[in-house]
A = this chain, B = another copy of it.
Amino acid sequence: MAAPERFAVGIDIGGTNVKAGLVSGALAVAARADRPTEEAKGAAQLLGKIADLTKELASAAPSGSVVAGVGIGSPGFVDASLGVVSDCPGKIPGWTGTAVTEEVSSAAGLPAFLENDAKVIALGEGWAGAAKGASDYVSVTLGTGVGGGIVQGGEILQGASGTAAALGHICVDPDGPTCICGARGCLEVYVSTRAIGACAVDYIMRGVETTVLDHVEGGDLGDVDARAVFEAAAAGDAVACEVVGRTAKYLAAGLVTIAHVLDPEVIVIGGGVTKAGDLLLVPVREMATRLIWRKPGAPPVRIEFSQLGDDAGVFGGAALAFGKTSGR
């Protein structure tokens, strides 16, 4: 008799939606579901939604199969060994201190695991994505902010207080613009979707001619986002191309630093900024590969955009539940 097919539930708590997927050990998503996050409504309703999603998806597993557990990626800091959110400032009232795994496990009757969302994405990339097979790799997520996960020797690198891989706060220019963290010239102030939109707005405010606003529905300056910049750049707009070029330069600088400090096999870039596609990937890869120093005979550090896209967190949650800590 063949061993029963194994599944795990992966849950990704995003700013807008809680996304869940039932993922097989063979990397297939067998079922999906989501709920609005409604951060402002607080911890109890969010816990309830996570438990409901877990039960709903677990019950969708084929009869005779085994559901190994549920893995959850949360914003903020997580004490993974306790399954507790140790600090999640300002986002979800009451979330800090919530014993997520205990509550979800007891409500859904399945083993539950919790980790920081950016680290969960790193696990997803190692198990099912562009870092598959690698035991030393880095995942960088470029969204409204910039997060990261580092895997070394097959294990998530946590650091002394669990805050390692704050890759958005790599300093790429000590005289640069001030970051929300208080430092200057953090990677995040150049390469987040927020920074890319703001940089285009700067040009427009200074009266430089550009078609960026033509790519914004309603044409409102307050609605300029990274997507509009990428669209304008793809259509050949000079200002948008300059903004993308600036993004590429600083992103490459950050990747060079990551590569020299950590010597990974691959760096996977995910998040909204990857929607720029080859417009950004091609120059970033060219610059970073040229500038990353390698010992003679060592293969180049691979620079990849995520292929999992919005599913990286769901795959990562499932990987966490399966006890995977890397692509090995």
Contacts and interface: CB of A to CB of B under 8 A. Distances in A.
A174 B174 contact: no
Contact of A167 (B173, B261, B290): B261
Number of copies: 2
A271 interface: no
Interface in A139-186: 150, 152, 157-167, 169-174, 181-185
A159 B136 contact: yes
Interface stretch (A29-37, A209-217, A227-235, A293-301): A293-301
A74 to B, nearest CB: 14
A248 to B, nearest CB: 10
A92 interface: no
A261 B263 contact: no
A314 B111 CA distance: 49
A77 interface: yes
A87 B260 contact: no
Interface stretch (A15-23, A50-58, A195-203, A249-257): A249-257
Nearest to A256: B171
Contact of A183 (B167, B184, B291, B295): B291
A149 to B, nearest CB: 12
A171 B87 contact: no
A254 to B, nearest CB: 8
Interface in A262-313: 262-265, 290-291, 293-299
Contact of A163 (B158, B250, B290, B295): B295
B298 A163 contact: yes
B261 A262 contact: yes
A249 B174 contact: yes
- Among A254, A256, A296, the one with the most B-chain Cβ atoms within 10 Å of its Cβ is A256
A174 B172 contact: yes
A167 B261 CA distance: 6
A263 B165 CA distance: 8
A298 to B, nearest CB: 4
Given A182-B291, A183-B291, A184-B291, 17 more contacts: A152-B159, A157-B262, A160-B265, A161-B298, A162-B263, A165-B261, A166-B260, A169-B257, A171-B254, A171-B257, A172-B172, A173-B174, A174-B253, A185-B253, A257-B261, A261-B261, A261-B262
4 closest Cβ pairs, A-B complex: A159-B263, A161-B298, A164-B263, A174-B253
12 contacts: A150-B261, A159-B263, A159-B264, A160-B263, A160-B265, A163-B295, A166-B260, A166-B261, A169-B257, A174-B249, A184-B291, A185-B253
